[in-house]
Chains A and B, each alone.
Chain A
């Protein structure tokens, strides 16, 4: 076997062990299905089947990296949607113009760069890609977070005469992928980790600073999630959409101050409950703003087989505060774009 092939095989094995197995089981199952491997249910079984697929050549290193790009870092993140100024839409959709400006801005080496598997401690712009009119900026970061490790807790009597309790946290490594993607008139910023929206403003300013030659998006208009909440909540009340779009929780902010919270205690729409629907009917949209809401969207099936299995539903949280979208489940690239397409792009009124 030639060296480069052996090296690809080894890299594929490493990828399986380090990256692939960290993804959601449902996605791994679908990958294996496409390669005619069935029946695995646990991570150990998935690992065994993936190794067999790699060793037999059915699953190549190139296919794995492509698959990871589709899966890794999608979902469980915050998203901000900006309106691309009309004057820039065409130039950002033109790869020749984009490349020329990148080279001029000193970022030419990142143009269509090989997919990086590097995750440095400090966030790093690892590639700029242009495919089918879509411009993508990708940053990688080897983040870590604390996870409680109660088995390492202890307590002791200290020399000062007091008794102290110590709680232990394990440092957990994590591969964070940050993306900024321009699709025609829409620019989406995908921020993993950190639940504090106030810190997102600084992060967005930092990201923008790196790509300002092409997309100085912090100066652009953010789409209003308050308006999106109003539109989606109203749509969820239509009988024709009740199976695909549900609104278990919505907060309506009164323009005069205060708010009304509507909440279901199930995964169904609150407006499917008779008493709540009566109250909701008294809410005049013109007198309220969307505050925040959780929507449940039925996702398209991953594959033909999956269509027959349990339906996939994505929880999508929208907040008028900072105009942010919060996805809390792991998803695929296609899932995320499907969801973003469903969110009304409305300007603040």
Chain B
């Protein structure tokens, strides 16, 4: 069980590294949003599941962490969608291959 926790936390950190690189190097608001929305949600869920596997805790505490995971799994894509819609309505121009 502890071995699974180490693997999950390490994989979550790798996914968050991908999120960071995408957020720093992508050329456009929409592509940055793509990197941030997916990698952030998945890495957070994996690290929290790893915490459950790694630490011996009571059932109520594990249930609370599962509640956080459930909330993030629903709420983070919703927030990403709202921000994407706000950028689209506010007139952020998408990046094209021949622009600069």
Q: Bound pair: A and B? A: no
Residues of A that sit less than 8 Å from B by CB: none
Residues of B that sit less than 8 Å from A by CB: none
